[in-house]
Structure 1
């Protein structure tokens, strides 16, 4: 009778022996949305285009808002004229205090209307909050949009970050600013990087911690969303 041989299952790969993967992500990104209901008059840049901070990204058709501001300014002029006239009459005791106070309140109300309409008119264009690129356009010229509707996604690709998980045991030698290499799949090249932030806590189950790093330098071929392998290993004992 042949002896029974029990096969030993291979030990599961630990985090220290597995390939560490990371994805490039922009440091800053956001979705620009409409703050007013209006028709888009102009989108000067196309998807993928680069822009500078403060550059115009969206221009709305605000003829109605401009007319409302002109109406509010005319109402302010009338209220101010009435109040000044009542002030002169008050010096001659020809108008009551209540009427004088009401005319002053009407002037303040008209001033508030002008300020509100100017603020509304200021939302008729959207400028870039930072320099970067248009990742995705969600609206088109001549399209009417509602308040809160997403118009485009933008990102700042001046600095590309990497997020990945390392074994918590590596905290004994990993430090902020520590250099390493990352091999990007899409380009087939290796790039320098350095640790920027170490996670605030260790996952007790997987005994791992999250690291955030940055690509050390500017490389035009790198784009947010690319991924690759982190070339980092503990020093030889």
Structure 2
């Protein structure tokens, strides 16, 4: 019995040993095969880092403001009898916009003029009588006061009549009218907006660390979404002397020519302040830069055992210009940089460079016409 049990145990151990040995041999062979395999090179496109002289800029987003802009309002109560403008029309300074009913004031003016005429005659008589001591000095003073009072009443009535004839205070374009003929206006009621937009202002802000680079007279380049293929040139007119408490930014105002009045107050605009002098920078397509919370980097094509491999390089990026971006630090002229395919790369990844089809990169790209 013991011999049979021992024989069975020996056979079982031999079978299990053979199985485990075979598996171990398979694992060793698989590891050897994996070690012998080489990773498939990642297909990428590349571009050479080129050196160019760029006029450096400071970019911001701002809002366009009218050179002069108001809401025309009534200074006095009255009923509208005439509207002398069309919505959206251009008006000159002094043009009549609205006239109100002046019948009561006109009649009152004639009454005051008659009173003033009588007061003037009484004053002349009082002066003549005073020369002969036929009246008192108090009588003469009363006559002079009555005459002055009558003159003041005339001036006040004329001022009221003038306020009932509302005119444009400056040349500009009138907005959509908000009143109608026959409407009764209260004091402060709005008639329409009036905007002078040539030139036009662009208000924007920049971080306080840029103060040393800024000055009035610097050129700015402005673009708006409504006209993506146009660039509007202007100059910084004013710099606010106070830094904003909330954002610690410096507020600036630029003036732009707007002869054709295509720019409107309230538009958002991208503003680039052009700094004096040119700076030599390394230029790459914008697609070459890999952005991450730890910093910006590019992949440079290096060599390992005679084959191209990826080398990660941390860089400091500068301003953009269309499809191009400037590299201020971390890259040398002439180095070959990966522009497409970085998502598949790690430091040391094998590369296969294929530049048969390379997207165009332009500092001033334009949309493709269909």
Say yes or no: TM over 0.5.
yes
Is the 1:186–1:226 Cα contact (8 Å) retained in structure 2?
no
Question: 2 CA distance for matches of 1:56 and 1:121?
Answer: 13
Tell me what 1:101 maps to: 141
RCO higher in 1 or 2 (8 Å CA, sep ≥ 6)?
A: 1
Query: CA shift at 1:92, angstroms?
Result: 5.2
Distance 1:92 1:171, change over 3 A: closer
Taking the aligned partners of 1:216 and 1:147, their CA distance within structure 2 comes to 36
Please name the residue that 2:252 is paired with: 211
Q: CA shift at 1:174, angstroms?
A: 2.8
Tell me, what secondary structure is at the counterpart of 2:241? coil
Match of 1:192 among 233, 243, 259: 233
Matched pairs, number = 220
Partners of 2:81 and 2:272 lie apart in 1 by: 49
Aligned residues of 1:36 and 1:146 also touching (Cα < 8 A): yes
Gaps of 5+ in 1: 1-17
* Deviations 1:131-188 (CA, angstroms, capped at 9, x unpaired): 1111343322221112232322211111111111212222332332222322211222
TM-score normalised by L of structure 2: 0.53
The aligned counterpart of 1:8 is none
1:201 to 1:89, Cα distance in 2 relative to 1, 3 A: closer
| Structure 1 match to 2:10 | none
Q: C-alpha root-mean-square deviation of aligned residues, in Å?
A: 2.6
Deviates more, 1:177-186 or 1:84-93: 84-93
Residue in 2 that maps onto 1:220: 261
CA spacing shift, 1:186–1:99, aligned 2, 3 Å = same
Task: Give ranges in structure 2 of 5+ residues lacking alignment.
Answer: 1-57, 282-327, 329-370
Is the alpha carbon distance of 1:67 and 1:165 closer, same or farther for their aligned partners in structure 2, counting shifts above 3 Å?
same
Q: Distance in 1 between matches of 2:135 and 2:248?
A: 82
Aligned to 1:122: 162
Equivalent in the alignment of 1:34 = 74
Q: Per residue, is there more strand in 1 or in 2? A: 2
- CA separation in 2, counterparts of 1:38 and 1:97? 44
